[in-house]
Amino acid sequence: MESIRAACIAVLSLLTLLFEGLQSSTTFTFINQCKYTVWAGTLSGAGSIPLPKTGFELYPNATVVLPATARWSGRFWGRTGCSTDIAGKFSCATGDCASGTMSCSGAGAIPPATLAEITLGTNGSPDFYDISLVDGYNLPMSLIPVGGQGSNCKPAICSQNINRMCPTNLQVNGDGGVVACKSACEAFGDPKYCCTGVYGNPNSCKPTYFSSLFKSACPSAYSYAFDDLTSTFTCVGPSYLLIFCP
């Protein structure tokens, strides 16, 4: 009897989550304002129903709209310099998810890549969202709430081309010059840049010369792991515009 009761509770919990998901009206509108093609990537967090597309092509001025379920969490990014080789393998110069196809299918971006991160609220609780440069930078991006409420319901944005000011020891070079800018953590692996080990808390891990360069260029973006106060935004009930090259 106990096993039957436990199974029934599990089924009811699953049905509740599915029902709540179907009730969500949040949409993500991806817009490419770059002068070049961007291949968007999406990654759903653990326990979130994947979005209808995990990777897709956006020509300049193109738009794609994806619906999200309630409580959805995950991240978005843009891939650049993508192509398919003679064997049919798809890959990108920056932001590649190494799936071998245009769809990322549960794989995340290989750093460096600019990330948009979000967790949707439910039943009147706020969404939490940010633009992060903690894994480095590859292109300008913004996450803009539309129709939401709250005093901190503001755009998260990084509109500067950090590749143009990237220090030599952080540069990723490709066709046409610098195509991405590594984080100091990726470039050097030092705990003080990665906020790990003895630096694994906000009291010991502070802004560095390199994270300050990112912060100066994009004041509302995460520049290092504990850059919360000026980089996390909240909003109740909006949909979102995800804009490449805002």
pLDDT tens sequence across 91-100: 999 999 999 9
Q: How confident is the model at residue 122 (pLDDT cuts 50, 70, 90)?
A: confident
Structure token pair of residue 119: 């967790």
**24-244 — its CATH code?**
2.60.110.10
Given a cut of 50, is residue 7 above it in pLDDT?
A: no
**Distance in angstroms (rounded) separating the CA atoms of residues 161 and 222:** 16
Name residue 27's beta-bridge partners: 67
Q: What's the pLDDT at 144?
A: 98
| pLDDT, average across residues 221-243 | 94
Evaluate whether 207 touches 215 at the Cβ level (below 8 Å): yes
The CB density around residue 59, as the number of other CB atoms within 10 Å, is 10
Q: What's the pLDDT at 24?
A: 55
Q: What's the pLDDT at 22?
A: 44
In the chain, the percentage of residues whose pLDDT exceeds 90 is: 86
Q: How confident is the model at residue 211 (pLDDT cuts 50, 70, 90)?
A: very high
- The structure's pTM equals 0.88
Q: What's the pLDDT at 78?
A: 98
Q: What's the pLDDT at 16?
A: 41
| pLDDT, average across residues 219-233 | 93
Which residues have C-beta within 8 Å of that of residue 119, sequence separation ≥ 6?
45, 71, 72, 73, 127, 128, 129
The one-letter amino acid at 106? G
The overall average pLDDT reported for the chain is: 91
